[in-house]
Amino acid sequence: MSLTLAQFNNLSQEVAIAQLLICCTSSVWANKIANARPFADFDALLANSDAIWDEVQTNEANLLEAFDGHPQIGNVASLKEKYRNTQDSAAHEQSGANDAADDVLEALAKGNQDYLDKFGFIFIVFATGKSAQQMLDLLLARLPNDRATELANAAAEQNKITRLRLSKLLGNA
């Protein structure tokens, strides 16, 4: 569903919150954004979203609620489906690339489970435009971090995802 900003500003509170929860499943964030309406323009919405997210992310329960809105990338079959048609423009076609891709997907599934086991929440990353190998590299780079660092990293990635979803909701993407 794509809305104009005027339509979004005029939604009932209940419907606005429901639309916002599609962008980010933090109920505190969604309620605060809905209460901050009307917005003069899309940039004002994003600025408010960023400011409210800065407040919301100080509470771990709010973060975990937002993270729970993402599916866990842990199933090799679902990873294969996700990346089946993804092509990195810099990649060179080589024999055995399909086998390498399966290895990457299996490593990504294992890494995601290792991440969940270590931190207690799923690996959150702004995945748009990233290949499976890039995702794996990011996951492996973040896995040695402590939990506080990863909460902050995941919160920053969540905000990028939320901004993209707001853009899509309002037809700006």
Active site residues: 70
**Is the separation of the CB atoms in 126 and 165 below 8 Å?**
no
**Is the separation of the CB atoms in 66 and 24 below 8 Å?**
yes
DSSP for 48-114 reads: HHHHHHHHHTTSHHHHHHHHTTS-----HHHHHHHHTT---TT----TTHHHHHHHHHHHHHHHHHH
**Is the separation of the CB atoms in 20 and 28 below 8 Å?**
no
